[in-house]
């Protein structure tokens, strides 16, 4: 992950864990609040004489860990710490810097004179962490977004039996009640959106004739995998890339917290591929109010680990999806979304009927047992969450 992107993600948080090095070489971990300045420096208020301060005077190497609320992504910013002078007077440069840090974190103090005196009395100083390099990792949102900036966030199946398929998925995966998006009624559809960790499974059914979902059901001869919705960090770049490839867009929306782009399945076969960008990246507008503005604190661990697409020419189709996602597939027609811990696998269809190309399996990491089941013409392979 680029340093600038890591700092941008860190700037959206306020709480983290600071790691310093004890005299015996073991790590010292401290819960802290921090702010990222316009200069890209992380600032933390510390107290003279405390363990972390003493550690940094001896060895200035430090790391800041910032975790996402669902526990499935984090970033670490490492660098060399610099300590300001200890506050000695209410109007000295250290206190002025501490005042600015407080404002960044909490806004205005009710009594600045009292605050300034307290900084001197407590022997406060400022720890400045000038990053030398970030490391981003995690199950997913992505990193705080995925390293590589591509993540399969939602898989969609279409069925003529909404109640039956939704009930089976909910029962097999022990899922909470799904979100029902009334907005899809505009397209003649009804849905159920299930949380699977920090990713999502959607079940769709047509409610009137002449819908895209209904035509897909007819073409496939029954229930089937339908959509693959990807989260991208650089959606503008992806839209430009799609235009350069001559791929048609069948639907596009730009909401305050989500942008989405559905690609024409004739141009990108195998599913309706959607390129989306949520804001903030851990949120997901399509999953309802619970996932707007961020990830809920009680989200389960886990998510989508793989998607398998059957194709007449797997290598050709893998290359096409790779062009769209800007990820090069390997020689076995597999696209590794390494930062997200996911794979897109393209396998032989077994016939020459291109209209039968589509999603045939979804891999999940969820719960604590290994099992598999079929629903809506798709096999779901479930492994324990890491």
- Domain map of the chain by residue range? 3-138, 150-383
150-383, CATH topology level: 2,3-Dihydroxybiphenyl 1,2-Dioxygenase; domain 1 (3.10.180)
Q: In angstroms, rounded to a whole number, what is the distance separating the alpha carbons of residues 318 and 326? A: 11
Q: Which pLDDT value is given to residue 142?
A: 35
Beta bridge pairs of residue 194: 201
The pTM score is: 0.66
Q: Which pLDDT value is given to residue 134?
A: 45
Determine contact, residues 270/359, Cβ cutoff 8 Å: yes
Q: List, in order, residues 6 or more apart from 355 with CB less than 8 Å away.
A: 219, 220
Q: Which pLDDT value is given to residue 158?
A: 97
Residue with tokens 């003649």: 188
- Name residues of the chain where pLDDT drops below 50: 1, 133-148
Superfamily name and number for 3-138: Electron Transport, Fmn-binding Protein; Chain A (2.30.110.10)
Determine contact, residues 211/193, Cβ cutoff 8 Å: no
- E-strand stretches of the chain: 15-21, 27-33, 35-36, 42-47, 61-67, 73-83, 124-138, 150-158, 189-196, 199-206, 224-232, 249-254, 258-263, 272-278, 302-311, 334-337, 342-348, 358-366, 371-375, 378-383
Q: In angstroms, rounded to a whole number, what is the distance separating the alpha carbons of residues 262 and 251? A: 5
Beta bridge pairs of residue 272: 227
Q: In angstroms, rounded to a whole number, what is the distance separating the alpha carbons of residues 145 and 309? A: 24
Q: Which pLDDT value is given to residue 73?
A: 65
Q: Which pLDDT value is given to residue 69?
A: 59
């Amino acid at each position: 992950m680029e340093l600038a992107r890591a700092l941008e993600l860190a700037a959206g948080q306020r709480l983290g864990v600071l790691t310093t090095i004890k005299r015996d070489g073991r790590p010292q971990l401290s819960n802290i609040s921090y702010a990222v300045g316009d200069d890209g420096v992380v600032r933390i208020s510390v107290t003279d004489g405390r363990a972390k301060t003493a550690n940094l005077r001896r060895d200035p190497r430090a790391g800041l860990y910032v975790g996402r609320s669902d526990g499935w992504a984090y970033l670490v910013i490492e660098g060399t710490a610099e300590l300001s002078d200890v506050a000695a007077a209410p109007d000295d440069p250290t206190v002025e810097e501490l005042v600015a840090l407080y404002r960044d974190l909490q806004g205005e103090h009710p009594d600045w004179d009292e605050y300034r005196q307290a900084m001197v009395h407590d022997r406060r100083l400022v720890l400045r962490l000038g990053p030398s390099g970030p490391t981003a990792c995690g199950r997913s949102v992505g990193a705080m977004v995925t390293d590589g900036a591509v993540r399969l966030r939602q898989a969609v199946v279409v069925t003529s039996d909404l109640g039956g398929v939704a009930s089976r998925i909910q029962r097999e995966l022990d899922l909470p009640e799904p979100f029902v998006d009334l907005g899809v009624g505009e397209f003649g559809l009804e849905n159920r959106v299930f949380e699977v960790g920090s990713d999502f499974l959607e079940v769709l059914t047509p409610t009137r004739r002449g819908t895209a979902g209904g035509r897909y059901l007819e073409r496939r001869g029954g229930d089937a995998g339908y959509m693959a919705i990807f989260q991208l960090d650089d959606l503008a770049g992806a839209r430009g890339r799609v235009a350069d490839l001559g791929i048609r867009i069948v639907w596009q929306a730009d909401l305050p917290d989500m942008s989405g782009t559905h690609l024409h399945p004739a141009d990108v076969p195998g599913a309706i591929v959607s390129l989306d960008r949520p804001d903030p990246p851990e949120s997901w507008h399509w999953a309802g109010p619970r996932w707007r503005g961020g990830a809920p604190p009680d989200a389960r661990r886990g998510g989508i680990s793989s998607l398998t697409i059957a194709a007449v020419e797997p290598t050709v189709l893998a290359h096409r999806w790779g062009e769209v996602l800007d990820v090069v597939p390997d020689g076995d027609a597999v696209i590794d979304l390494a930062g997200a811990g996911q794979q897109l696998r393209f396998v032989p269809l077994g016939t020459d009927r291109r209209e039968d190309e589509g999603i045939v399996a979804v891999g999940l990491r969820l719960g604590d047992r290994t099992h598999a089941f079929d629903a809506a013409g798709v096999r779901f392979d479930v492994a324990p969450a890491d």
